[in-house]
Chain A
Amino acid sequence: MSRSLDDTRRHVQVLPERIGAVAGSEFPGHYPGEDHSWNLQKFKENLITSVQRLTPSTVEFDLVGVDASIANALRRVMIAEVPTIAIEEIYVWNNTSIMQDEVLCHRVGLVPLKIDPRSLKYRPSPHSAPHETDTIVFDLSVRCDRKPGVDKSEKDPKKLYYDSNVFTGMMKWSPSGDQSKKYKGKNPKPVDKDILLCKLRPGQQIDLHCFARKGVGMDHAKFSPVATASYRLLPHIILREPIPIEHQEKFKNCFPEGVVEIENDQVVIKNPRKDTVSREVLRHPEFSDKVSLNRIRDHFIFNVESTGQYNPEELVPEAIKILLNKITAVEEGLDKLFATEGQVA
Chain B
Amino acid sequence: MSDEAPQQSTSKLDNAGTLLQSVSTSMTHEKVSILPGHEPDYSACTFCLWQEDHTLGNALRWIIMKDPDVEFCGYTAPHPSEPKIHLRIQMYDGLSAVDCLRKALSNLRDLFTTVDKSYKHSLNNDNYIREQDVDVRAAVDETLRQRGFPVEGDEEGMDLS
Say yes or no: is B108 at the interface (Cβ < 8 Å to chain A).
yes
- Is B147's CB within 8 Å of the partner chain A? no
> Does A92 sit within 8 A of B, measured CB to CB?
no
- Residues of chain A at the chain B interface (Cβ within 8 Å): 27-29, 36-38, 40, 43-44, 47-58, 61, 63, 66-67, 69-70, 72-74, 76-77, 80-81, 83, 121-122, 124-129, 156-158, 164-165, 199, 215-216, 218-219, 313, 316-317, 320, 323-334, 336-338
- The answer to whether B10 and A329 touch across the interface, beta carbons within 8 angstroms, is yes
Contact with A along B50-81 (1 / 0, CB 8 A): 10111110110111011110000000000000
7 residue pairs A–B, Cβ–Cβ below 8 Å = A51-B128, A53-B128, A125-B4, A317-B120, A323-B56, A327-B105, A333-B50
A125 CA to B11 CA in the complex, in Å? 12
Closest Cβ of chain A: how far from B151's Cβ, in Å? 16
- Mark contacts of B102-130 with chain A using CB atoms, 8 A cut-off: 1 yes-contact digit, 0 otherwise: 10010111111111101111110010111
Of chain B, the residue at the smallest CB distance from A216 is B16
**Cα separation A158 to B159 with both chains bound (whole Å):** 8
Chain A min CB distance to B38 (Å): 10
Alpha-carbon distance A61/B5, docked complex (angstroms): 40
Residue among A72, A124, A164 with the highest chain B CB neighbour number at 10 A: A124
Q: A121-B14, A330-B49 are in contact. Are A47 and B114 (CB under 8 A)?
A: yes
B138 at the binding interface (Cβ < 8 Å): no
Q: Of all chain A residues, which has the CB nearest B101?
A: A334
Chain A residues closer than 8 Å to B105, beta-carbon distance: 327, 330-331
- CB distance A73 to B133 under 8 Å? no
Residues of A within 8 A of B58 (CB): 69, 72-73
Q: Is B28 part of the contact surface with A, judged by Cβ < 8 Å?
A: no
Report how far A40 CA is from B52 CA in the complex, Å: 25
Contact call A49/B115, Cβ cutoff below 8 A? yes
Given A53-B129, A76-B54, A81-B55, A122:B32 Cβ within 8 A: no
Cβ of B146: which chain A residues have Cβ within 8 Å of it?
Answer: none
B143: Cβ under 8 A from any A Cβ: no
> In the bound complex, how far is the Cα of B2 from the Cα of A129, in angstroms?
7
Q: Are B112's CB and A324's CB within 8 A?
A: yes
Q: Which residues of B contact A165 (CB under 8 A)?
A: 161
Write out the residue numbers on chain A whose beta carbons fall within 8 Å of the beta carbon of B31: 329-330, 332-333, 336
List 16 additional A-B contacts (Cβ < 8 Å) besides A36-B66, A40-B114, A158-B159: A28-B66, A37-B66, A43-B111, A47-B115, A51-B128, A67-B62, A73-B55, A122-B19, A125-B5, A129-B1, A316-B119, A320-B116, A320-B119, A330-B105, A336-B31, A338-B98
For the complex, is B20 an interface residue (Cβ under 8 Å from A)?
A: yes
Contact check, A69 vs B16: say whether CB atoms are below 8 A apart: no
**A76 in contact with B55 (CB, 8 Å):** yes
Complex Cα gap A67–B159 (Å): 52
For the complex, is B23 an interface residue (Cβ under 8 Å from A)? yes
Instruction: List the A side residues contacting B108 at CB < 8 Å.
Output: 327
Contacts of A57 in B (CB 8 A): 133
Q: Cβ of B119 and Cβ of A317 under 8 Å apart?
A: yes
Report which residue of A126, A219, A330 has the largest number of chain B beta carbons within 10 angstroms of its beta carbon. A330
Q: With A28-B68, A337-B30 as known contacts, state yes or no: A69 contacts B61, CB within 8 Å.
A: yes
Task: Assess A219 versus B119: contact at CB under 8 Å? Given A326-B55, A334-B32, A334-B102.
Answer: no
Beta-carbon contact of A56 and B19 below 8 Å: no
Cβ distance A3 to chain B, nearest Cβ, rounded Å: 16
Bound-state Cα–Cα, A56 to B135, Å: 12
In the complex, chain B residues 122-161 whose Cβ is within 8 Å of any chain A Cβ: 122-123, 126, 128-133, 157, 159, 161
B32 CB contact (under 8 Å) in A72, A121, A156, A336: A336
Bound Cα distance from A164 to B58, whole angstroms: 52
Find out whether the CB atom of A124 lies under 8 angstroms from the CB atom of B132.
no
CB pair B54 A29 closer than 8 Å: no
Within the complex, what minimum Cβ distance (angstroms) separates A119 from chain B? 11
Q: Is the CB of B30 within 8 A of A38?
A: no
